[in-house]
Amino acid sequence: MPFRTNTVARRIQWGECDPAGIVYYPRYFEMFDGSTTAMFSTATGLSKYEMFQTFAFAGYPMVDTRARFMIPCRFGDDVTIETTMTEAKRSSFYITHQLKKGGALAVECFETRVWVGRDPAESDPTKIKSQPIPAEVLAKLSVS
Amino acid sequence: MPFRTNTVARRIQWGECDPAGIVYYPRYFEMFDGSTTAMFSTATGLSKYEMFQTFAFAGYPMVDTRARFMIPCRFGDDVTIETTMTEAKRSSFYITHQLKKGGALAVECFETRVWVGRDPAESDPTKIKSQPIPAEVLAKLSVS
Amino acid sequence: MPFRTNTVARRIQWGECDPAGIVYYPRYFEMFDGSTTAMFSTATGLSKYEMFQTFAFAGYPMVDTRARFMIPCRFGDDVTIETTMTEAKRSSFYITHQLKKGGALAVECFETRVWVGRDPAESDPTKIKSQPIPAEVLAKLSVS
Amino acid sequence: MPFRTNTVARRIQWGECDPAGIVYYPRYFEMFDGSTTAMFSTATGLSKYEMFQTFAFAGYPMVDTRARFMIPCRFGDDVTIETTMTEAKRSSFYITHQLKKGGALAVECFETRVWVGRDPAESDPTKIKSQPIPAEVLAKLSVS
């Protein structure tokens, strides 16, 4: 079941850059987290908040992520981020982001996340547990 | 000389919100800083980096800013930020941002900034000095 | 009822600075928010999480804040932040922060916050309401 | 040549957490970047700014980083970050961070960075090139 690639375009902001004049690398992870959400929102037509209401879930926390930085980006650069779910298991799933600048691959990121729900009787926010990714969501992410 | 209002639309991100589920207020200042730059970029057709090259300046650091928070915004909210230069002196200028949610004023912010250049012979980044806002920039910001 | 000043010492981080080599001003608001919490934690001996459990409250969201930036700070600078509650009403309170570098006042910030609780029957995070600051907290903040 | 482990203790801040009440994972990368700098600063007795002056270098940008998230941390948690250089080549080096909460490994991060200088004749901040890590720095990081 191949999945659609979702593309986000953005301009690098002054406040995302460090004294070297280039993106402070933790900001890339913020961009990629937003890109993962944008992928789900594009597919479902729902914001993350609306997804919480619709699917009774509690997010898709990160289990493992890795990024490679090949070309530095500076403020004012216009980049695109291409985001693809590469594999979905029962509740775990894998995402790849390719951030491109002028068509060249500048940063690549790999994510392993898990779809979680929260026990309504549980007030401790650290007590979450995995639940299956809804079939409806996977269907909407898939290339038809 | 009245100035144009520039409007930016954005969706509040999960990562901009705190454990209360609403925007962590320092993130609003990041949004407003980006909105000030967007105002200049819309007027001049230049990114901030290109403005650095074109106008031989070094930014518009903040001198004084104040924000009032009236309606909380949460992740997934679609908001607009209306940004207007309210007054320009020789090198100082005043900006107002109105962040609206569903048409209602949620956050209002006031900025006093100064247009600065950097002495090319000076390597200390904290040694900057004010210089006049280019007439060309003010003309492009103005309502014709 | 005068209140104690709480002082936090910190080193400015590379990632808090922008391409001009100085602190990106929204980061100061993060520092000041942490300093307000540090003031309460020093007085009560509780972390913010423990305060949530102990006082059945939901935070002290910002109503209005203003900062003046007088001396730029760069990465590696060692600064202190002196935080004082200047006035407490029933549920609103006022805080002043003075960030000093080498003894000189570099940034000054004023905050108006409100002590809030959350209706347990309410799931919408934006529905919060003010409640009185606990007398015990005010007593511990006060100069004896 | 084994290297010393540098340990930093910190309390998780409210503003580092997301609506799930736990650390927003990009903030961990900010903590780890600060921990890498703290390791060099402890060894050399110099802030990063002072290192720029002393070693005529321009930073140690990230080439590749990976993190695994095992136990969520929430605001108010007191954690330690143990940082070790695991290997140094001519200009590349490898760092491991172990963030522990109550003694248990909560987050683990691996970094590949490169020590870079900047060509003084080059004004483009994205034009940097690797240079050897100073022997003096490596000596101070090493277990004697």
State pLDDT tens for residues D82-120: 999 999 999 999 999 999 999 999 999 999 999 998 766
Q: What whole-number distance in Å separates Cα of residue B109 and Cα of residue B72?
A: 14
pLDDT tens column, C37-77: 999 999 999 999 999 999 888 899 999 999 999 999 999 99
DSSP helix/strand/coil, C98: strand
Q: What whole-number distance in Å separates Cα of residue C84 and Cα of residue C36?
A: 8
Q: At what angle do helices B26-44 and C26-44 cross, to 10 degrees?
A: 170
Q: Does A120 touch chain C (CB under 8 A)?
A: no
DSSP helix/strand/coil, C105: strand
Q: What whole-number distance in Å separates Cα of residue D11 and Cα of residue C28?
A: 18
Of residues A131 and C1, the one with the higher pLDDT is: A131
Nearest to C45 by CA among C144, C136, C143: C136
Q: What whole-number distance in Å separates Cα of residue B65 and Cα of residue D106?
A: 38
Q: How confident is the model at residue C126 (pLDDT cuts 50, 70, 90)?
A: low
Nearest to B21 by CA among C116, A118, A49, C38: A49
Give me the phi and psi of B121, to 5 degrees please.
-85, 0
Location of structure tokens 């948690």: D77
Q: How confident is the model at residue C144 (pLDDT cuts 50, 70, 90)?
A: confident
Q: Does B105 touch chain C (CB under 8 A)?
A: no
pLDDT at C46: 97
Q: Which of A14, A18, A75 sits opposite C15 (nearest CB)?
A: A18
Of residues C56 and B102, the one with the higher pLDDT is: B102
CA distances in angstroms from B39 to B8, B47, C47, listed in the order given? 9, 10, 41
pLDDT at C56: 81
Q: What whole-number distance in Å separates Cα of residue B14 and Cα of residue C39?
A: 28
How close B96 comes to chain D (CA, Å)?
A: 25
Q: What whole-number distance in Å separates Cα of residue B25 and Cα of residue C98?
A: 19
DSSP helix/strand/coil, A139: helix
CA distances in angstroms from C95 to A122, C23, D16, listed in the order given? 35, 22, 21
Average pLDDT of chain C, as a whole number:
94
DSSP one-letter string for chain B: --B-EEEEEEEPPGGGB-TTSBB-THHHHHHHHHHHHHHHHHHHS--HHHHHHHH------EEEEEEEE-S--BTT-EEEEEEEEEEE-SSEEEEEEEEEETTEEEEEEEEEEE-EEE-TT---TT-EEE-PPPHHHHHHHB--
Q: Does A13 touch chain B (CB under 8 A)?
A: yes
Q: What whole-number distance in Å separates Cα of residue B43 and Cα of residue D85?
A: 48
Q: What whole-number distance in Å separates Cα of residue A76 and Cα of residue B47?
A: 5
pLDDT at A13 over 70: yes
Is the interface score ipTM higher than 0.90? Answer: yes
Of residues D50 and C120, the one with the higher pLDDT is: D50
User: Which of C14, C16, C24 is the mutation pick for testing A, counting most A CBs within 10 A?
Assistant: C24
Pairing of β D128-130 and β D116-118? antiparallel
Span B124-143, average pLDDT: 87
Q: Does A59 touch chain D (CB under 8 A)?
A: yes
Q: What whole-number distance in Å separates Cα of residue D65 and Cα of residue A68?
A: 7
Q: How confident is the model at residue B129 (pLDDT cuts 50, 70, 90)?
A: confident
Q: How confident is the model at residue B49 (pLDDT cuts 50, 70, 90)?
A: very high
CB C129 within 8 Å of CB C61: no
| Helix/strand/coil (H/E/C) assignment for every residue in C25-71 | CHHHHHHHHHHHHHHHHHHHCCCHHHHHHHHCCCCCCEEEEEEEECC
* Contact assignment for B14 to D15 by CB distance below 8 Å: no
pLDDT at A56: 81
Q: Does A39 touch chain C (CB under 8 A)?
A: no
DSSP helix/strand/coil, A71: coil
How close D49 comes to chain C (CA, Å)?
A: 5
Chain D residues within an 8 Å CB radius of A126: 21-22, 71-74
Chain C residues within an 8 Å CB radius of A20: 19
pLDDT at D121: 65
Q: How confident is the model at residue B78 (pLDDT cuts 50, 70, 90)?
A: very high
Span B73-102, average pLDDT: 97
